[in-house]
Amino acid sequence: MKPLIPLVLLAPLANLIAAQSGAPNPAVPAAPATPSALAAPKKPERPAPPTRPFDAPGTPTFLRLDGNPGATPPANADGDYLVGPEYAAAPETKIIEGVLQGRIEQFQMDSRDCQRFNPGIARETFGTPDPNNPRTLIVETHNIDYKRTITVHIPAQYVPGTPAPLLVTHDGPGMGKPDQNLTRILENLIAQKRIPPIITVMVANGGGDAQGHERGKEYDTMSGLFAEFIQHEVLPLVEKNYGVKFTSDPDGRATMGTSSGGSAALIMAWYHPEWFHRVLTLSGTFVNQQWPFNPETPGGAWDFHAKLIPESDPKPIRLYMAVGDRDNFNPNVMRDGMHDWVEANNRMAHVLKAKAYHYQYVYCLNSGHGVGNARSQILPSALEWLWQGYQSR
């Protein structure tokens, strides 16, 4: 007599056979639907953003480099440039034989050990427009504890004990997943002496996105708080952990980010120009995404081009911006007229030019939020432009 196969083993075996064949298994009862599965409707897909023509009213007059894959603006020139719609990765994105490799280190910061952004916040649902103030949302949040990864790239050319120029990047990678695409570009540019031997500190966000989440609180808040967190809590730990020193010269300190990480980069330099002068943004979120509402800056980062830059004396900030012609457009329930990423970046270019800032603005054809298809073409030259004129002190 053949041994019987217990039912508890038979069910998983039947499921496996059914899964491999793609057919249902009538011999095994289907698992009952869970309440969460029954209650969770499929989230509707967000409509694709419209393409905004580069020559539409309100856009700057661009110097045209389009139609030439691989073309980038001069590293020593300011102004407005058009690239795309096809792209080619720059040579500096590849491994180049003979280039010295730096080292990459990582550690984690626990929010419970921090003075700022402790505890964090998170939300369950996005929120609803405030009927008494269309510029903000009503959002229910709760406190959270969280950890963030800090990734540090130390170039081979760094001389221990000397104060190094610094690049801080936002939305840094997770533990065990360093961004080797960025570090490869940096190492190639350093080897070619197109940028100084900078130490790069990549700071992960606290989680979530936009209003009511920790990332939104850190990146979209119009204040000096996040720069103070970097200056007083992150950088001292990097120096202590790895025996490095950072220059105190703000002209030797840059910050960089994509989307809200881009607005955060400018916010850091705007509120603390004594610490940071150089800013690189890709699809910068210069829109109304601040939460909670602040009557001093009621438009959030939209106020940069609406009033802060036009109504202030120029600050010693050098700013690079890139945006895609299909970048974000009113991506949520707010219809306040301040959620078009392309319009926001166009307006930034106009006010920066009017105030005689050093800026470079790159408009990427056939590109969406984050300019992902254009990034490998434009980022090396963007970093080179960013560091133009730097002299170590």
The dihedrals phi and psi of 252, each to the nearest 5 degrees, come to: -100, 20
Burial bucket for residue 391 (CB in 10 Å: 0-12, 13-18, 19+): exposed
CA angle 268, 272, 276 (to 5 degrees): 70
If asked whether residues 14 and 151 sit together in one domain, one would say: no
If asked whether residues 77 and 21 sit together in one domain, one would say: no
If asked whether residues 319 and 176 sit together in one domain, one would say: yes
Residue 331 pLDDT? 63
Distances in Å between the alpha carbon of 93 and those of 186, 215, 265?
A: 9, 28, 23
**Can you say how many angstroms the Cα of residue 255 is from the centroid of all Cα atoms in its chain?**
11
Q: Which tokens sit at 347?
A: 């307006």
If asked whether residues 9 and 73 sit together in one domain, one would say: no
Residue 92: inside a domain? yes
If asked whether residues 17 and 95 sit together in one domain, one would say: no
What is the residue-level pLDDT of the chain in tens, covering all 393 positions? 433 333 333 333 333 333 333 333 333 333 444 444 344 445 456 678 899 999 999 999 999 999 999 999 999 999 999 999 999 999 999 999 999 999 999 999 999 999 999 998 888 878 888 888 888 887 888 888 889 999 999 999 999 999 999 999 999 999 998 888 999 999 999 999 999 999 999 999 987 788 878 898 999 999 999 999 999 999 999 999 999 999 999 999 999 999 999 999 999 999 999 999 999 999 999 999 998 989 999 999 999 999 999 999 999 999 999 999 999 997 666 778 888 999 999 999 999 999 999 999 999 999 999 999 999 999 999 999 999 999 877
Q: pTM of the full predicted structure?
A: 0.87
Distances in Å between the alpha carbon of 313 and those of 231, 270, 306, 352, 355?
A: 25, 12, 14, 11, 8
If asked whether residues 19 and 115 sit together in one domain, one would say: no
Residue 317, domain CATH: 3.40.50.1820
If asked whether residues 199 and 321 sit together in one domain, one would say: yes
Residue 76: inside a domain? yes
Burial bucket for residue 84 (CB in 10 Å: 0-12, 13-18, 19+): buried
- Residues with Cβ < 8 Å from 139, sequence gap 6 or more? 123, 126, 127, 211, 212, 291
Between CA 183 and CA 197 the distance in angstroms is 12
| The total number of structural domains that make up the chain | 2
If asked whether residues 9 and 85 sit together in one domain, one would say: no
Domain that holds residue 291: 63-386
If asked whether residues 1 and 128 sit together in one domain, one would say: no
Residue 282 pLDDT? 98
Between CA 127 and CA 148 the distance in angstroms is 25
Residue 391: inside a domain? no
Residue 43: inside a domain? no
If asked whether residues 168 and 251 sit together in one domain, one would say: yes
| First and final C-alpha spacing in the chain | 89
If asked whether residues 20 and 83 sit together in one domain, one would say: no
The dihedrals phi and psi of 365, each to the nearest 5 degrees, come to: -70, 150
Residue 127 pLDDT? 81
**Three-class SS of residue 148?**
strand
Residue 325: inside a domain? yes
Q: Which tokens sit at 230?
A: 């970097």
Residue 39: inside a domain? no
Residue 41: inside a domain? no
Residue 314 pLDDT? 97
For residue 301, give the DSSP letter. Answer: G
If asked whether residues 152 and 13 sit together in one domain, one would say: no
Residue 36: inside a domain? no
